Amino acid sequence: MTDILDKIDSKALHDWNSPENRRRVQKRYARDRLLKIAGLTAIGLAVLLLGILVTSLLYSARSAVTQSMVELEYFIDPAKVSRDAPERGSYRSIVKKAVLTHYPEVTNRRQQRKIVKILSGGVSYLVRDHVVANPDVMGKTISLKLPLSDPFDQLNKGVIRRDLPENQRRVSDKEIAWFDVMVKKDLIHNPINWGLIFNNDSRRPEVAGLRGAIVGSFYILLVCFLISFPVGIAAAVYLEEFARKSRMNDIIEVNINNLAAVPSVVFGLLGLAVFLGFFGLPRSAPLVGGMVLSLMTLPTIIIAARAALKAVPPSIREAALGMGASRHQVIQHHVLPLAMPGILTGTIIGLAQALGETAPLLLIGMNAFITSDPGSIMEPATALPTQIYSWADSPERGFTSRTSAAIIVLLGFLVIMNTVAIILRQKFEKKW
């Protein structure tokens, strides 16, 4: 025993610089480096995956940025369109005629039909809409740029490659030759695809757009905000400022924390069974979507609002109470205004989450195929994420790039909302 104590005392006991020890230390450092490299690899991997995610979406979306259009002269023949009811004309034949004037040599009916199919099937409706909106074009010839059908849109953008053997692509050599006639006559244009945002949904990818989904998402978020914001603040104020430590309040608190982690699809079941089943509210309505999402957003807002209230220093409450204000007045006049930026930040983050939420909306039928935007919160609608889901599920090739583009639109909204939240937080962080 004592000799070891002596050993500790004598400084010559351990030779830190012996070659043996140096080797040992080298090994220890190697292990340290290994951990460091593993960590760096993990981060690199996460960044790489994010990069792949974003670039693959952008890459896939690039062909949805523009839309191939063909500029043709349409003669609005009064023989085919009645002046009194322009919506009931035979627009199909007007379109057919406009196309076929460029192919006088083709007389075979089947071939003619194929040529007309270079244009989107929605073109005759678009011409109709134009005439309905401008009745004075009756009997005149109008020049319109209207979308190509999906295969030719893809061909024009080079997605369908001409150098592939004929049996491996969706357009035949002959169709390409017909298409090239239009190209040569300089009739094909590639404007920015604003229709993606301003059109309503359609089965035809070339004319499908997000308008209805954006309006639907807006209504849903509006309902969600109108419910969860006031309710969330009231609950947070009660729990943070008034509730005494009691069993009931403990239960409420545990409840809120757990609710925040309940899978979203369960909220969908709740909406389906209670709002649709029990109360008989209309299916696919933004009102129901907003109500379901508000229940999901509520915990986020309550937790954020409580944190914001907690951050208001007690000295402010005490000072105001000392001046004879009631607790309600203190909270209303002093605490809430100071906590408001924090509460708003939490609310925006909660709404951003709600905007991306899909599963509960599917269960209450918000993936319906709806070709007009909802006029009110009671009318059937889709939402951005459910529209993405429907498009992703559609077999038409043109929907792939449009789904990616729709995702980028959705991510754009999310980035904007989160940026606003961050700016709000930084601007008002700890003023006192």
| Shortest spacing between CB 392 and another protein, in angstroms | 5
Nearer to another protein, 116 or 381 (CB): 381
Q: Which span sits near another protein by CB under 8 A: 99-107, 182-190, 307-315, 409-417?
A: 409-417
| Shortest spacing between CB 101 and another protein, in angstroms | 36
Q: How far is CA 273 from CA 144, 278, 288, 321, in A?
A: 49, 6, 12, 47
Query: Does 418 participate in binding another protein (rule CB under 8 A)?
Result: yes
Instruction: Write phi, then psi, for 189 (nearest 5 degrees).
Output: -125, 160
Nearer to another protein, 72 or 363 (CB): 363
For the beta sheet containing 188-189, the strands, ordered from the edge strand earlier in sequence to the opposite edge, are: 141-147, 69-75, 188-189
Instruction: Please give the residues from 102 up to 121 whose contact with another protein meets the rule CB under 8 A.
Output: none
Query: Does 159 participate in binding another protein (rule CB under 8 A)?
Result: no
Instruction: Please give the residues from 336 up to 355 whose contact with another protein meets the rule CB under 8 A.
Output: 352-353, 355
Q: Which of 81, 95, 119, 256 binds another protein (CB under 8 A)?
A: 256
| Shortest spacing between CB 380 and another protein, in angstroms | 11
Instruction: Please give the residues from 184 up to 203 whose contact with another protein meets the rule CB under 8 A.
Output: none
Interface pattern 376-395 for another protein (x via CB under 8 A): ---------x--xx--xx--
The residue to which tokens 């491996």 are assigned: 168
| CA pseudo-torsion sign 7, 9, 15, 21 | positive
Residue 14 amino acid letter: H
| Shortest spacing between CB 18 and another protein, in angstroms | 11
Instruction: Please give the residues from 58 up to 87 whose contact with another protein meets the rule CB under 8 A.
Output: 60
Q: Contact at 8 Å (CB) between 371 and 200?
A: yes
Reported residue count of the chain is: 432
Please give the structure tokens belonging to residue 351: 């709404």
Count of residues of this chain found to bind another protein when the rule CB under 8 A is applied: 105
Q: Which span sits near another protein by CB under 8 A: 49-57, 73-81, 94-102, 185-193?
A: 49-57
Query: Quick one: which of 60, 47, 92 has its CA closest to 74?
Result: 92
Nearer to another protein, 246 or 315 (CB): 246
- Angle subtended at Cα 139 by Cα 133 and Cα 143, rounded to the nearest 5 degrees: 65
Q: Which of 13, 132, 226, 416 binds another protein (CB under 8 A)?
A: 13
Write the Ramachandran bin of 429: left for phi over 0, alpha for psi from -120 to 50, otherwise beta. Answer: beta
Query: Does 47 participate in binding another protein (rule CB under 8 A)?
Result: yes
Q: How far is CA 16 from CA 24, 334, 388, in A?
A: 10, 64, 65
Q: Which span sits near another protein by CB under 8 A: 132-140, 307-315, 335-343, 396-404?
A: 396-404
Nearer to another protein, 34 or 132 (CB): 34
| Percentages (nearest 5) of helix, strand, coil residues in the chain | 65, 5, 30
Query: Does 259 participate in binding another protein (rule CB under 8 A)?
Result: yes
| Shortest spacing between CB 155 and another protein, in angstroms | 21
Radius of gyration of the chain (CA): 32
Instruction: Please give the residues from 210 up to 249 whose contact with another protein meets the rule CB under 8 A.
Output: 230-232, 234-235, 237-239, 242-243
| Shortest spacing between CB 234 and another protein, in angstroms | 4
> Alpha-carbon distance 13 to 4, whole Å?
10
Q: Which span sits near another protein by CB under 8 A: 173-181, 210-218, 263-271, 310-318?
A: 263-271
Q: Which of 67, 193, 347, 403 binds another protein (CB under 8 A)?
A: 403
Please give the structure tokens belonging to residue 273: 């069974």
Instruction: Please give the residues from 266 up to 285 whose contact with another protein meets the rule CB under 8 A.
Output: 266-270, 272-274, 276-283
Q: How far apart are the first and last CA of the chain?
A: 62
Instruction: Write phi, then psi, for 134 (nearest 5 degrees).
Output: -125, 80
Q: In DSSP terms, which residues pair with 242 in a beta bridge?
A: none
> Alpha-carbon distance 216 to 404, whole Å?
19
> Alpha-carbon distance 141 to 146, whole Å?
15
> Alpha-carbon distance 38 to 266, whole Å?
38
Nearer to another protein, 76 or 424 (CB): 424
Q: Which of 89, 205, 212, 299 binds another protein (CB under 8 A)?
A: 299
